[in-house]
């Protein structure tokens, strides 16, 4: 390896412990979407229909997480997907997968910036200084106060991430603990509050269409377990343990979503499910207390902070890794001289979050739908990479080997992952029950216009394998030297 390649391997600080790493994954998945969207899940699919969609979706994501668990233990490097795909399929496929998951992360970060003022508006009226309306005439209004709350918090979270992963991780652990204390209160409402099995009827709505209508958003709701692989280079724990934590985080998130669906459906009638924040309304009804509703709003805000913090961190590490590998401009991968964090990548993501509130609450649905197919594209390429590496590099060091010691079990899990992710991608296509709207396809398309620009700049002739990133960087360095 030449000197320029060695120098490009800038060091990230290893400040993440076991609980901090778990909190990053769980906190990224358990964001704010459930507070706003749970009513729509229940009315669209029924109480048990929505719960079963999250059960099936959770199993699907757990299989994908198993694939990630083996790969992150084998390659505990910043950038997660980038490292797995470039080794198995080469740099062009790696940029496609990495750009896809970065876009998914960016949509979640933007979602949280829009969702935060909506949550706070449940407690404090933020509808002052009207600016404009985007989309729905009833609910699409944008207010200056509303915008300022989302944008100022975007700036604050960016600063926290720049200061360092240790600070961001410590905040993450505290907020996740608070979030799950509120979740325990919600469950207690089933036994001590005003909740009833009869209120959960109808159990199923619109049959298969209702089920798939909820299943299709599962990738968006579960995005975040893959933040752990993004930050693996900063984890001060054994690679095998990082893999196990990745899988465990998905199980915890699945249990959370099923719990929320069942408790809210047991507390609210169909009409009450139309509330702007049905999870908070459920807490109010179960305990007959507006204060308890505000406590649930606080849990929603906690979810926003954890998800936002984790995914901004994960996306910045992906951008850093792509820059380090010569796929994106060098300035994106610049590390802060004092804190050792990818400052320019964080500032770029912070800018996206700061601007998002100007598009108003209607943007929430568009963002969710645009981000979901991006996420699944990345998952598909990772599962394909897993299968390729199992076949082509059977002797590769794998501290955590899923499916047992033989090849058959692991290959079955990998192939299941490929089928699951390919199936989810098909669900988004126009004409199918779960297809997404044109606004979301516009957002999707704009992101990929930039991606194609970078894809065309990657030099050809780099072979997949353990040295693929080094070979690519050497070609990039030669190209820069000629200029």
- Count up the domains in the chain and report the number: 1
Q: What angle do CA 127, 131, 136 make, to 5 degrees?
A: 80
Q: What is the mean pLDDT of residues 361-388?
A: 84
Q: What is the mean pLDDT of residues 21-46?
A: 80
- Is pLDDT above 50 for 160? yes
pLDDT score recorded for residue 167: 65
Give the DSSP letter string of 280-333: HHHHHHHHT-HHHHHHHHHHHHHHHHHHHHHHHHHHHHHHHHHHHTTSS-GGGG
Q: What is the mean pLDDT of residues 86-105?
A: 88
Q: How confident is the model at residue 111 (pLDDT cuts 50, 70, 90)?
A: confident
Tokens at 444, concatenated: 């999707």
Give me the residues paired with residue 133 across strands.
141
- SS3 letters across 231-250: CHHHECCCHHHHHHHHHHHH
CB atoms within 10 A of CB 125: 11
Q: How confident is the model at residue 380 (pLDDT cuts 50, 70, 90)?
A: very high
Q: What is the mean pLDDT of residues 71-87?
A: 83
Lowest mean pLDDT among 85-94, 182-191, 201-210, 256-265: 182-191
Percent of residues, the chain, with pLDDT higher than 90: 9
pLDDT in tens, 417-436: 999 989 888 877 776 655 67
CATH code of the domain containing 385:
1.20.1740.10
Domain with 429, as residue range(s), is 3-482
Q: What is the mean pLDDT of residues 367-396?
A: 87
Q: How many angstroms separate the Cα of 144 from the Cα of each of 108, 117, 151, 169, 171?
A: 22, 11, 10, 31, 28
- Is pLDDT above 50 for 2? no
- Which residues are within 8 A (CB) of 161 and not within 5 positions of it... i.e. 6 or more apart? 168, 309, 312, 313, 316, 341, 346
- Is pLDDT above 70 for 110? yes
Q: Which of 319, 258, 353, 245 is nearest to 24 (CA)?
A: 245
- Is pLDDT above 90 for 383? yes
């Amino acid at each position: 390896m030449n000197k320029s390649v060695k120098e490009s391997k800038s060091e990230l600080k290893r400040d993440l412990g076991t609980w901090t790493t778990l909190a990053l994954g769980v906190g990224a998945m358990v964001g704010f979407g459930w507070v706003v969207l749970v009513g729509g899940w229940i009315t669209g699919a029924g109480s048990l229909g929505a719960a079963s969609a999250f059960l099936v979706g959770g199993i699907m994501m757990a299989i994908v997480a198993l694939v990630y668990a083996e790969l992150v233990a084998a390659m505990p490097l910043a950038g997660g997907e980038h490292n797995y795909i470039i080794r198995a399929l080469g740099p062009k496929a790696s940029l496609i997968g990495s750009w896809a998951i970065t876009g998914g992360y960016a949509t979640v970060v933007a979602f949280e910036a829009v969702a935060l003022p909506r949550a706070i508006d449940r407690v404090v009226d933020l509808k002052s200084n009207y600016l404009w309306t985007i989309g729905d005439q009833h609910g699409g209004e944008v207010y200056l106060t509303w915008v300022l709350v989302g944008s100022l918090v975007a700036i604050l979270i960016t600063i926290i991430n720049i200061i360092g992963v240790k600070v961001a991780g410590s905040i993450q652990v505290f907020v996740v603990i608070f979030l799950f204390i509120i979740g325990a209160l919600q469950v207690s409402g089933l036994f001590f509050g005003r909740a009833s099995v009869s209120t959960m009827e109808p159990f199923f709505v619109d049959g298969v269409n209702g089920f798939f209508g909820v299943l299709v958003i599962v990738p968006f709701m579960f995005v975040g377990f893959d933040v752990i692989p993004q930050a693996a280079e900063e984890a001060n724990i054994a690679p095998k343990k990082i893999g196990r934590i990745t899988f465990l985080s998905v199980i915890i998130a699945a249990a959370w979503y099923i719990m929320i669906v069942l408790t809210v459906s047991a507390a609210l009638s169909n009409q009450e499910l139309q509330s702007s924040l049905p999870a908070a309304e459920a807490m109010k009804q179960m305990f007959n207390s507006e204060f308890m509703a505000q406590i649930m709003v606080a849990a929603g805000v906690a979810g926003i902070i954890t998800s936002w913090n984790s995914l901004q961190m994960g996306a910045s590490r992906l951008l850093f890794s792509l820059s380090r590998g010569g796929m994106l401009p060098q300035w994106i991968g610049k590390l802060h001289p004092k804190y050792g964090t990818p400052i320019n990548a964080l500032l770029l993501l912070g800018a996206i979050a700061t601007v998002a509130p100007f598009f108003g609450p209607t943007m929430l649905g568009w963002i969710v739908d645009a981000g979901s197919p991006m996420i699944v594209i990345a998952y598909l390429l990772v599962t394909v990479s897993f299968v390729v590496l199992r076949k082509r590099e059977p002797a590769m060091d794998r501290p955590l080997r899923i499916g047992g010691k033989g090849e058959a079990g692991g290959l079955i899990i990998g192939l299941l992952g490929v089928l699951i992710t390919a199936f989810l991608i098909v669900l988004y296509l126009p004409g199918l029950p779960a297809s997404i709207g044109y606004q979301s396809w516009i957002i999707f398309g704009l992101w990929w216009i930039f991606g194609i620009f970078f894809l065309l700049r990657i030099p050809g002739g780099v072979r997949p394998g353990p040295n693929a990133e080094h070979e690519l960087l050497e070609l990039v360095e030669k190209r820069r030297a000629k200029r």
